Amino acid sequence: MTWRPRARSPDRRRDPVRASGMLDRVLGELGLDVETTRRLDAALAAALGPTLAPHFELVDVRGRTLELRADSAAWSQELAAQRNEVLARLREALGPDDAPTELRLRLR
């Protein structure tokens, strides 16, 4: 038996969808919007600075709590020691109403 691609009936074919539109839709369903997410991500990178930022990624936002994943326990401890300064920088960048009030850290 030779392999043949599965034929789809004409009514089951789908038109291509732009990934950017899909991302906006999915983020919207999660209660997030792209601009707010980008703004938060940029503010977080600036607040962490060039030393810490490469070692963390934003995993989740729950209310006003950011969940970050560290690439090692040592970097997680370093951020824990600087938590108040980072939160203050985020407050300055985002404003007191939009800034996170807590950081949760976890390891990869």
Q: Which domain holds residue 87?
A: 38-107
pLDDT at 30: 67
Render pLDDT for 46-83 as a digit per residue (tens, 0 to 9): 999 999 999 999 998 888 999 999 999 999 999 999 99
**CATH code of 64's domain:** 3.30.300
Looking at the chain, the whole-number percentage of residues with pLDDT higher than 90 is 56
Q: Residue 86: name the closest of 42, 45, 47, 43 by CA.
A: 47
Q: How many domains does the chain have?
A: 1
pTM for this structure?
Answer: 0.71
Q: How far lies 13's CA from each of 10, 78, 107, in Å?
A: 6, 52, 43
pLDDT band at 5 (very low <50, low <70, confident <90, very high): low
Does 77 reside within a domain? yes
Q: What whole-number distance in Å separates Cα of residue 29 and Cα of residue 98?
A: 20
